[in-house]
Amino acid sequence: MFINRLSTQKKLFIMFLIVALVPLLTLGIISYLQSSKVVNGKLANYNHFAGEKIKTQLDQILVDMYYGSSAIQQYLADSTAVNLRHQEPKTYSDFKEMNNLERLLQAHKKSNIRGIYVITSSGYFYGGYDFKFDLFKKQEIWKRSVWSGNPSIGIYQPTHYKDNNPKHVLGLIVPLKYSYGVLNNGYLLIETDVDDLFELMKVLEKDLHSRIEIKNELGQSLYHSTSKEAARKDDIIWKEQTNINNWNVEIRVPRDKFYQSSRVIFKIVLIGIGISFLLASMLSFIFSNQFTKKILNLKFAIDEVSKGIFDTKLSIHTKDEIGKLSFHFNRMVDKIKQLMEEIKQKELMKREAEMKAIHYQINPHLLFNTLNTIQWKARLDGNKEIGQMLLHLSKVLEGNLNFSIELISIKEELEAIEHFLVIQRLRYGDHFNFHLVMDEKLSNGLIPRMTLQPMLENIFFHAFEDGEGIIELEILESGEYFRLSLKDNGKGMSQDKLNTLFTRPEDNVRGGIGLYNVKQKFQIYFGKDFLIRADSVLTQGTFITISWPKRWRDTRG
């Protein structure tokens, strides 16, 4: 698997990142989806509400205007109420009539109605002083109504007031048709200030980037937002229709503008995730790096040790598992180093011994041939005793001169000392006693070659005077070890002598090398895993014990 090929650091890094990113992304996506849903929903509601509000306002204005116009027309049609003459008012009653009409018009002037005027065919008008009829005649709506003879309604910019001209008015002109009277062929004009409505639409256009269009029932545009961008098919559109006149109010928001808010949210979430991602990467890198660096250090240390560099030491900073591991590693390296040192020492000793052996090697053939010749000579001369002695000596020497150091069975070793003892018996006669205590089954146990003979030799040369004494050899098992004890009742030795018994003698001092050799042999085979000790009491005797690990001759081969 791919993941298995990655380094631990990368694995850890990836793991931490996943642990951080999964909840992060989930949270980010959820909060984005939720909040953009809320925002878009609200925006849509707001747009819908705005469209409805424009529609309602338009409806209200139109209702007011139509209602006002019909109420005024009803009043004007009542011949008993209106006695206007075919001229400007001149008399007291004219002025009173005018007054009444003006009051009627005033009464219909709701707060946002800019003006209500009754314009006679002569151009004289009722409804206030700040109206400039000359200028109004230039308005498109007036021309349209005069030309068609029908009521006209429209949104336009008034310029015909002496002051306080609103920016936009919704105007309604109704031609008056009466059978008689001054008002026949006159016009009723109602204009409503729609600046508030336009202000509302401006706010909408600005706030929502929406484009508003108001069309009359014939589909002619009464108002549309000025915009450089063309309407597009994917624009989001809300439509409202006024109850009066069936005017259409259309609010159109470009798709990208409508989703602008949710895009902003998206960006913020993205930035948030980005920042967190960076932080997460940094932290997981630092952490995994620190963690794996320790492991890597350990690995490098192991590599070095495996190359044989035992001076490697790990510095320990923490008490965690890696710290403990490093500690144990250091201890292990120390131990190995020590063991290696020992092995080296052993090898050195072995080589030295072999070298020394070679050094002492006299050509054995020469020696044996010479001994043989002497033996034959003795036999020919009829001296059986010398012949016997030489036979046993050659046997002893045979063992002694076999310099290949090896373990031999206890039985073989005992045979070797048997020859030695025969020689000694020929030499001293039966003045000494040798007792061997050993279980027969131990005869296959292993012991370094030529270890007993030097000890016996030592007894004969140093302990016994004139070969008199008792030698007791006991070999037995003791747990995992063989134990050999050699006891004599000779003259014993001083403590000083005892202390130097197993040490390497000065080169020029002859003799005394035997016991040192014995110890060396054991050391070569068993390292430190053996015990050799000697006790002695002057005039009483010496007691030597040796313990060494149990090994057996392979009797199968």
List of residues contacting another protein (CB under 8 A): 19-20, 23-24, 27-28, 31-32, 35, 38-39, 88-96, 99, 109-111, 123-125, 129-131, 133-134, 162-164, 264-265, 268-269, 272-273, 275-276, 279-280, 283, 287
CB of 16 to another protein, least distance (A): 8
CA distances from residue 147 to 117, 122, 151, 391 in whole angstroms, order as listed? 19, 16, 11, 167
Q: CA-based diameter of the chain, in Å?
A: 202
What does the alpha-carbon distance between residue 60 and residue 67 come to, in Å, rounded to a whole number? Answer: 10
CB of 67 to another protein, least distance (A): 17
What does the alpha-carbon distance between residue 513 and residue 454 come to, in Å, rounded to a whole number? Answer: 9
CB of 328 to another protein, least distance (A): 27
**Secondary structure string (H, E, C) spanning 366-404:** HHHHHHHHHHHHHHHCCCHHHHHHHHHHHHHHHHHCCCC
**Pick 7 or 87: Cβ nearer another protein:** 87
Secondary structure element (H or E) that encloses residue 164, with its range: none
Token pair, residue 120, equals 């006679």
Token pair, residue 544, equals 């030597």
**Pick 123 or 429: Cβ nearer another protein:** 123
Ranges of beta strands (E only) in 417-540 are 432-438, 446-448, 469-478, 481-488, 531-537
CB of 346 to another protein, least distance (A): 53
CB of 277 to another protein, least distance (A): 10
> What is the separation of C-alpha 408 from the centre of its chain, rounded to a whole number of angstroms?
64
Q: Facing residues of 190 across strands?
A: 116, 172
**Pick 123 or 511: Cβ nearer another protein:** 123
Tell me which residue of 262, 154, 261, 268 sits closest to 218, measured CA to CA: 154
Return phi, psi of residue 170, to 5°. Answer: -105, 115
**Pick 20 or 367: Cβ nearer another protein:** 20
**Pick 111 or 179: Cβ nearer another protein:** 111
What does the alpha-carbon distance between residue 178 and residue 182 come to, in Å, rounded to a whole number? Answer: 9
CB of 218 to another protein, least distance (A): 33
**Pick 39 or 305: Cβ nearer another protein:** 39
Which amino acid would we find at residue 537?
V
Tell me which residue of 484, 485, 489 sits closest to 471, measured CA to CA: 489
**Pick 39 or 296: Cβ nearer another protein:** 39
What does the alpha-carbon distance between residue 205 and residue 218 come to, in Å, rounded to a whole number? Answer: 24
CA distances from residue 77 to 70, 93, 126, 127 in whole angstroms, order as listed? 10, 19, 16, 17
CB of 268 to another protein, least distance (A): 5
**Pick 265 or 393: Cβ nearer another protein:** 265
What does the alpha-carbon distance between residue 115 and residue 33 come to, in Å, rounded to a whole number? Answer: 52
Check: CB of residue 515 under 8 Å from CB of residue 501. yes
Q: State the helix-helix crossing angle for 364-380 and 384-400, rounded to 10 degrees.
A: 170
What does the alpha-carbon distance between residue 257 and residue 236 come to, in Å, rounded to a whole number? Answer: 10
CB of 203 to another protein, least distance (A): 15
**Pick 65 or 421: Cβ nearer another protein:** 65
Check: CB of residue 392 under 8 Å from CB of residue 423. yes
CB of 56 to another protein, least distance (A): 20
**Pick 276 or 545: Cβ nearer another protein:** 276
CB of 299 to another protein, least distance (A): 25
